[in-house]
């Protein structure tokens, strides 16, 4: 399960025939044959990959929108999930703070920077204990959970099921694996990508930070992994 303070991510659903489905979508665009015949007569994996890589490489991304994957995610902060739900091509079912009343100390996430600072860590834990006690006092006084939750912090742990298509997952990887993204969402998205590439290793080269795909860094503050856009554009074109 890894670090108890880290996101827990499991891939719970993906199409069995992922490669064949994308291949059929790609091939249909250039073939006089019926898609069902293309699907049934799908060639070997190497040939399918060759076509798929060419089509994705040329930016024809609608062909990978046919692939939907679903992840079960837990042990993430509400700060993290709030960022994730900004992605408009994803579907979410998240543990409700209205319907699920906290009993006793609520679970919460401790950022590594806090974990490493004993003095702050102690105060952090005391703050969570105080908040939990007040939350309980409120619910015991008859305040509904949907109102008592107003005192719960961004650190409160959450769980969700999320689905997205492959195009969106690649986009998610591009911007959330970048070191400019917050540490927790970066770990969570990395685990989502790893879960999928365990079963579909050919996707590894696509599920990367955007600089790997662009060939340069387009952020104001670069981590130095790649040349900045300005440096990159100054280079003579490769022929």
Annotated catalytic residue: which of 78, 176, 180, 225?
176
Q: Is residue 190 part of the contact set for ligand FAD (CB under 6 A)?
A: no
CA distance 62 to 166: 10
Given 40, 47, 50, 89, the residue binding ligand FAD (CB under 6 A): 89
Q: How far is the CB of 219 from ligand FAD (least distance, A)?
A: 8
Q: Which residues lie below 8 Å from residue 110, measured CB to CB, with a gap of 6+?
A: 5, 121, 124, 155
Select 55 or 173, whichever has its Cβ closest to ligand FAD.
Answer: 173
Q: How far is the CB of 172 from ligand FAD (least distance, A)?
A: 7
Q: Is residue 180 part of the contact set for ligand FAD (CB under 6 A)?
A: yes
Rounded to the nearest 5 degrees, what angle is found at the Cα of 78, between the Cα atoms of 74 and 79?
Answer: 120
What are the respective helix, strand and coil percentages of the chain, to the nearest 5? 50, 15, 35
Q: Is residue 82 part of the contact set for ligand FAD (CB under 6 A)?
A: no
Residues in the chain: 239
- Pick from 16, 5, 65: which is nearest to 200 by CA? 16
Q: How far is the CB of 8 from ligand FAD (least distance, A)?
A: 22
Q: Is residue 101 part of the contact set for ligand FAD (CB under 6 A)?
A: no
Given 46, 57, 59, 86, the residue binding ligand FAD (CB under 6 A): 86
Residue 115's SS3 state is helix
The number of residues that bind ligand FAD (CB under 6 A) is 9
Select 149 or 167, whichever has its Cβ closest to ligand FAD.
Answer: 167
Dihedral (Cα; 209, 215, 217, 218), 10-degree rounding: -100
Rounded to the nearest 5 degrees, what angle is found at the Cα of 7, between the Cα atoms of 223 and 76?
Answer: 100
CA distance 190 to 173: 8
Select 38 or 56, whichever has its Cβ closest to ligand FAD.
Answer: 56
Q: Which residues lie below 8 Å from residue 211, measured CB to CB, with a gap of 6+?
A: 178, 217, 218, 225, 226
Q: Is residue 88 part of the contact set for ligand FAD (CB under 6 A)?
A: yes
Given 87, 95, 101, 190, the residue binding ligand FAD (CB under 6 A): 87
| Catalytic-residue membership of 176 | yes
Q: Is residue 143 part of the contact set for ligand FAD (CB under 6 A)?
A: no
Asked if residues 179 and 211 have their Cβ atoms less than 8 Å apart, the reply is: no
Q: Is residue 171 part of the contact set for ligand FAD (CB under 6 A)?
A: yes
Q: Contact region for ligand FAD (CB under 6 A) — 101-109, 137-145, 167-175, 228-236?
A: 167-175
Where in the sequence numbering do the catalytic residues fall? 176
Residues that bind ligand FAD (CB under 6 A): 86-89, 168, 171, 175, 180-181
């Amino acid at each position: 399960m890894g670090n108890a303070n880290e996101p827990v991510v499991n891939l719970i659903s993906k199409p069995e025939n992922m490669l064949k489905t994308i291949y059929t979508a790609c091939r249909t665009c250039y073939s006089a044959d019926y898609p069902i015949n293309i699907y049934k007569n799908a060639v070997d994996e190497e040939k399918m990959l060759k076509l798929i890589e060419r089509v994705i490489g040329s930016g024809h991304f609608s062909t990978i929108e046919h692939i939907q994957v679903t992840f079960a995610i837990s042990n993430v902060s509400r700060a993290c999930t709030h960022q994730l739900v900004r992605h408009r091509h994803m579907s979410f079912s998240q543990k409700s703070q209205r319907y699920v009343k906290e009993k006793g100390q609520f679970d919460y996430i401790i950022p590594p920077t806090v974990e490493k600072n004993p003095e702050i860590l102690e105060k952090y834990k005391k703050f969570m204990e105080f908040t939990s006690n007040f939350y309980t006092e409120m619910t015991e006084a008859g305040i509904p959970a949907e109102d008592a939750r107003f005192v719960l912090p961004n650190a409160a742990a959450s769980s969700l099921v999320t689905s997205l298509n492959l195009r969106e997952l690649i986009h998610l990887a591009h911007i959330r694996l970048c070191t400019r993204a917050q540490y927790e969402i970066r770990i969570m998205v990395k685990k989502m990508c790893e879960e999928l590439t365990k079963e579909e290793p050919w996707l590894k080269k696509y599920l990367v930070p955007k600089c790997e795909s662009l060939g340069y860094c387009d952020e104001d503050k670069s981590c130095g992994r790649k040349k900045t856009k300005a440096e990159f554009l100054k280079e003579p074109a490769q022929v």
